[in-house]
Amino acid sequence: MTATPGAGLGEMIRTWRDRLPPSAAALPVGRTRRALGLRREELAELAGVSVDYVVRLEQGRATTPSAQVVASLARALQLSTAERDHLYRLAHLIPPADGAISDHIPPGVHRVLTRLGDVAVAVFAADWQLIWWNRSWAALVGDPSSSPPPLRNFARDRFPVDTGPTRLAQWPVAELDRDATDAAVVSDLRRATGRFPNDPRLAKLVLILSAGNQRFAELWATGTVATHREDHKTIQHPSVGPVTVDCDVLTDGDSELKIVIMTAVPGSADEDKLRLAAIAGPRHGAAATGRAPGRRPYPGARALPP
């Protein structure tokens, strides 16, 4: 049986790449640019794979990308949920099931995120797994990209189970109400278990933290259910000194994505420090541009630019 022309994995990736203007991904558009959509190297950068791998996918020489690569390609190409599921099937993979925690960022949310300018923003899944961040976020709190994707989780950082370094790099260390933040994160995870009772990643996270961190186990035992909406943090920045910010958490619909935004009071010294931190650039020890991992690590996972 002959395959339908233009319906294969490589053809669809190329079609979706050609239709996405670079401005939609916050990429510069030069006068000499010929491509209307994304270049292959731009898609590779956004998706965290090599240019050669993108070429092999589009030419049909690579036909079985991992679920993590497919998830990252779907985010980079800003696919709708239906298009994302179609991409999974073309790669001979089962799309994420209903009732499972999603790492997919809808195209409309992508567009809003890329238009926030110098605002420090990151996106977490329902289980506080970090799935996207921008350059301003990396400049303020450190770039998490040097940590393995499964360990880029805010709850793991709040409740460490070993004596290793903080996985999300220079996460805020001086908080005005640490106990309240801890309780809020645990109660939010409790709420997520009701929303996603069969999600294996969430179940594994709760099991690991309950067994390995006494503080988490104590808070979990209270049975409190709530959402984490806002907080105040003082970030110890190595270049500009302490920066006090408001940390607001917005939730995106049924997927329970958490959009975390850090801002300072307009006209304040802290707002000036935020600008200086952005000028100084991403803090290494962690890294530089946001990266968008899938559910498990894969080589060179990269993500969206600011």
Topology classification of domain 9-90:
434 Repressor (Amino-terminal Domain) (1.10.260)
Report the pLDDT value the prediction gives residue 148, as an integer from 0 to 100. Answer: 79
Report the pLDDT value the prediction gives residue 5, as an integer from 0 to 100. Answer: 52
For the chain, the structural domain boundaries read: 9-90, 107-280
Report the pLDDT value the prediction gives residue 13, as an integer from 0 to 100. Answer: 95
Helix ranges (DSSP H) in the chain? 9-19, 40-47, 51-58, 67-76, 81-90, 107-114, 135-141, 154-158, 178-195, 200-212, 214-221, 269-280
Calculate the average pLDDT of the chain: 81
Residue 81 CB contacts under 8 Å (≥ 6 apart), including other chains: 104, 106
Average pLDDT over residues 226-242: 79
| Window from 8-17, 97-106, 286-295 with minimum mean pLDDT | 286-295
* pLDDT top residue among 272 and 254: 272
Residue 287 CB contacts under 8 Å (≥ 6 apart), including other chains: 138, 142, 143, 144, 145, 146, 169
Q: How big is the CA angle at 288 (ends 282 and 293), to the nearest 5 degrees?
A: 135
Report the pLDDT value the prediction gives residue 284, as an integer from 0 to 100. Answer: 58
Using pLDDT thresholds of 50, 70 and 90, give the confidence band for residue 1. Answer: very low
pLDDT(303) > 60: no
Residue 274: count of CB within 10 angstroms of its CB: 25
pLDDT(231) > 80: no
Q: Is CATH 3.30.930.10 the classification given to domain 107-280?
A: no
Q: Rounded CA gap, 201 and 127, in Å?
A: 8
Give residue-wise pLDDT tens across range 32-67: 667 678 999 999 988 889 999 999 999 999 988 998
Q: Give the torsion sign (CA, 30, 34, 36, 39).
A: negative
